[in-house]
Amino acid sequence: MGLEMNGLNEAIKALGDISKQIPYTAEKHLRKAGNELKQEAIDATPHGTGRKKAVARLEAKAENAATLSEEKALKKKAKKFGGKDLASGWKGSIKGDWNGEGIRYELKNIRPHYHLIEHGHKMVSHTGKNLGFVQGKHFFEQTFNRYVDSDSFDEAAGNIWDEIIKRWEG
């Protein structure tokens, strides 16, 4: 007389195969959720926060330059300025690994003036006189909090487990 369990080896093998796929599944859904946050950040970014006016002014000066070398110098300076809008500076990437700290989606804005608009800055004249403080917009902080509190963030986490369960059943 005794108890017998059949199919245990097959279940252990299936669990091993699924456990190898968990990091890829989680990364896929984390990237999807991060890209949704990125799109919301782009939509919330204030428009007209680029350097397009400064670039246009430099290009106009270049057209009226007295010498060819002065024109080239002004065009080079205008190109360096970039004229990029703040909304086009959002970059997202997956960081970390599964052996230590885990993985995370990092979203940042690479424009050099982002932190001034987000957090605020002092206004100073050319002579160094303090003209006051410009309050920050805090648009990304608000967008991030709204996204984390939303159902779409919870849905993204649930999708990871839904896909893992489908693999187990299939």
User: Structural domain boundaries of the chain?
Assistant: 26-49+85-163, 51-84
What's the CA gap between 82 and 6, in Å, rounded?
67
Rg (Cα) of the chain, in Å, rounded? Answer: 26
Which has the closest alpha carbon to 31: 131, 161, 170, 156? 156
Question: 77 or 88, which is more confident?
Answer: 88
Whether the Cβ atoms of residue 60 and residue 2 lie closer than 8 Å to each other? no
Query: Pseudo-torsion of CA 149, 150, 153, 157, nearest 10°?
Result: 90
pLDDT digits (tens, 9 = 90+) for 28-65: 888 999 999 999 999 998 876 556 666 677 677 777 77
